Amino acid sequence: MSGASTRSRWTSETGPASLFGGKDAPLFGRRQRRPRGPRLPVIAVTGFLGSGKTTLIRALLDKPEGANTAVVVNEYGEIGIDNALLRSSSDVTVLLGNGCLCCNIRTDLQETLRGLFADRARGAVPSFERVVIETSGLADPGPVLQTFATDRALGREFYLQALVSVVDAVNGEGNLERMPEAKKQVALADRIIVSKSDLVDPGATGRVVEYIASLNAAPVTNAVNGEIEPSFLLDEPLSTRQRFDLGDTEHSHGLCSFSLFFDEPLSWPSFEQTMAVLTALRGHDLLRVKGFLALHECRGPVVVHFVQHVAHPPVELEDWPDADRRSRLVFVTRDLPRELVAQLFASVAQIVAPLVHRAPQAPIVLS
């Protein structure tokens, strides 16, 4: 998909909404109670080889909260070992082909999940209600995130609820220092788990946690033998406030992480065109953008999610997750600092403003 693909495809005046939308047609389809709507939640677990991903997933499956989970394992190297560990405790386990999930195997992941969904619909596998994907240690999480972006792939059936990164307290700091993939796994994660903290002194664990905090403001917890509160893995966060409130980590290790807040509602064309410029010119460096928008055109807040040049379909919620009604976006970028992005938003908003005020009722179609 090219950078221009974020162009007004969701504000199209043709299509079912123009025939059957009704008086109260939401711009992005039915307003949802939560970002995932009715879609099946997917939890993707990343982490370097030996960091404890399998232990974590096994521990989850052993708990009542882990029932009705389908597990997809992407094992790099020794096929079958991890898969055999998981099969005994999970309803459905699928082993992906040998290889790393980041590039060529992405198609396998799509086919596997599509097959799982079809098998579930026809009753060939039990009625699972979530999927946990264990990625291979070397996987770049970006393509996994992109996999769920579009209807053409899996975006209609599945929703990536959480990208979880496991960092072990023993080798984690070294991996993060040396391996760009490890750094990226942590930088993009929604939740981070520090494993094996029982094997090192508290000071060492503290240093790993500090390193993680310099890359990402996501919640962090410790796990020993994979034991954590299942909700840390499974719950859909109603509020991502925590992420927005923590400080920026700009220019740390070449990765920037920062938040933007907008006191006034945005217009969709303004937001869309700003993102079109960013994805077209710097999509490769736009590792992940997530957030809530207060839009002129919508009653509820709109959840947006971009991974590099790919935009997930926006979802309008019935209500805000908390009292804060401001648009807010969190960016994880490579050498793309906050000032430039903020300036671009401001400039495009000024260009679009007269159009929005001229015809406040009609959505503007830019094509």
Interacting residue ranges for other proteins, rule: CB under 8 A: 16-17, 19-24, 29-30, 33, 37-38, 121-124, 126-127, 129, 156
| Closest CB to other proteins among residues 125, 344 | 125
| Closest CB to other proteins among residues 124, 340 | 124
| Closest CB to other proteins among residues 156, 338 | 156
- The CA distance from 184 to 187, in Å, is 5
| Closest CB to other proteins among residues 28, 258 | 28
Least Å distance between CB 231 and other proteins?
16
Least Å distance between CB 125 and other proteins?
11
21 Cβ contact list (under 8 Å, min separation 6): none
- The CA distance from 343 to 278, in Å, is 12
- Please give the helix or strand (H or E) that residue 181 lies within, else none: helix 180-188
**130-134/255-262 β-pairing:** unpaired
In 3D, which of 55, 133, 149 has the Cα closest to residue 101?
A: 133
Least Å distance between CB 312 and other proteins?
17
Least Å distance between CB 35 and other proteins?
13
| Closest CB to other proteins among residues 35, 52 | 35
- DSSP state string for 12-30: -SSSHHHHH--TT--TTSS
- What is the number of other CB atoms lying within 10 angstroms of the CB of residue 154? 22
| Closest CB to other proteins among residues 114, 338 | 114
In 3D, which of 333, 327, 330 has the Cα closest to residue 308?
A: 333
| Closest CB to other proteins among residues 124, 199 | 124
- Please give the helix or strand (H or E) that residue 117 lies within, else none: helix 105-121
Residue 5 near residue 291, CB atoms below 8 Å:
no
Least Å distance between CB 322 and other proteins?
21
Give the N- to C-terminal CA distance of the chain in Å, as an integer. 17
Least Å distance between CB 316 and other proteins?
11
Least Å distance between CB 363 and other proteins?
16
- Is the four-CA dihedral 169, 174, 179, 184 of positive or negative sign? positive
| Closest CB to other proteins among residues 36, 326 | 36
- Is the four-CA dihedral 95, 100, 102, 103 of positive or negative sign? negative
Least Å distance between CB 64 and other proteins?
15
